[in-house]
Amino acid sequence: MNLTDSDYWDSAYKNRDFEHWELNYPSPELAALIAARALKRNAKILDVGCGGGLDAIFLAQCGFSVVGVDFSPAALRIAEKRARETYVEVDWCLGNVLDLPVEDDTIDLVTDRGLFHVIEDDDRPRYSSELHRVLKLNSHVIIRGASKESAQDRFNPVTEEAIEKYFSKFESGPVLPIPLFSIAGVMDGRIVVLKKK
Ligand code: SAH
């Protein structure tokens, strides 16, 4: 099992084996951000590693312009079908987050749920620089992923040290504990919000 390999993810989505990370709701922390009206009405939001697209669809339902990027074609097929059934439009893009198919300085918010924690250290500088490139100045990234305690040898956790090391071109808020809910259960997680400097 190699979480950096698109084939691993693609076969999981093909087998509809995603209950360990998908949730039947939009992620609560994202809903809270929207409820607090932290974004302007016509904001453009990028969901990196959007998977089956539930957060992206929620954001489109809220009226935002949404781009969902994932490197699993099977994930995007599921996401597209769900969007059609919900009558919303999302710009689904097959691509790698290390080489985002998105123009410079065009994004008002990046949402990452469960993506940074599958990016290996060697690729983290590239990931950070891609997010920096596509975001508008003073715009935010919201990252949620496994904590050091829950990561085991499966994930590369979201820690203060990692954020400090790889996101020096961003202003960082605190790394805080949250539950990461999925259909299968709950995992100890961390959340951090970064602002492009
Ligand atoms: N955000 C979704 C999916 C989380 S699982 C949710 O919360 O349900 C991680 C997702 O990131 C998977 O869909 C996987 O296919 C995708 N992914 C992992 N590495 C990627 C990469 N380098 N480029 C694009 N997508 C990637």
Summarize pLDDT for 177-191 with one digit per residue, the tens.
Answer: 999 999 999 999 999
Handedness of CA 185, 189, 193, 196 (dihedral sign): negative
For residue 92, list its beta bridge partners. 68
Hey, where are the domains in the chain?
6-196
Structure tokens at 27: 């992620």
User: Taking the CB of residue 120, how many other CB atoms lie within 10 A of it?
Assistant: 11
Interatomic CA distance for residues 5 and 94, integer angstroms: 14
Q: Is the whole model's pTM more than 0.95, yes or no?
A: yes
Residue 115 CA to ligand 1 center (angstroms) comes to 5
Whole-number average pLDDT of the chain: 97
Pocket test for ligand 1, best of 5, 71, 98 (most atoms within 8 A of CB): 71
Give, for ligand 1, the residue of 9, 59, 155 to mutate: max count of ligand atoms closer than 8 Å to Cβ. Answer: 9
Q: Is the CB of 53 under 6 A from ligand 1?
A: no
User: Rounded CA gap, 135 and 131, in Å?
Assistant: 6
pLDDT at 1 over 90: no
**Rounded Cα–Cα distance for residues 43 and 65 (Å):** 6
Query: Which pLDDT score is estimated for 142?
Result: 98
The domain covering 6-196 belongs, at the CATH homologous superfamily level, to: Vaccinia Virus protein VP39 (3.40.50.150)
Q: In the chain, which ranges are E strands?
A: 44-48, 65-70, 91-94, 107-113, 135-146, 170-172, 176-182, 185-196
Residue 76: CB within 6 Å of ligand 1?
Answer: no
9 within ligand 1 shell (Cβ under 6 A): yes
Summarised one tens digit per residue, pLDDT across range 71-130 is: 999 999 999 999 999 999 999 999 999 999 999 999 999 999 999 999 999 999 999 999
Q: Among the atoms of ligand 1, which is closest to the Cα of residue 127?
A: 22
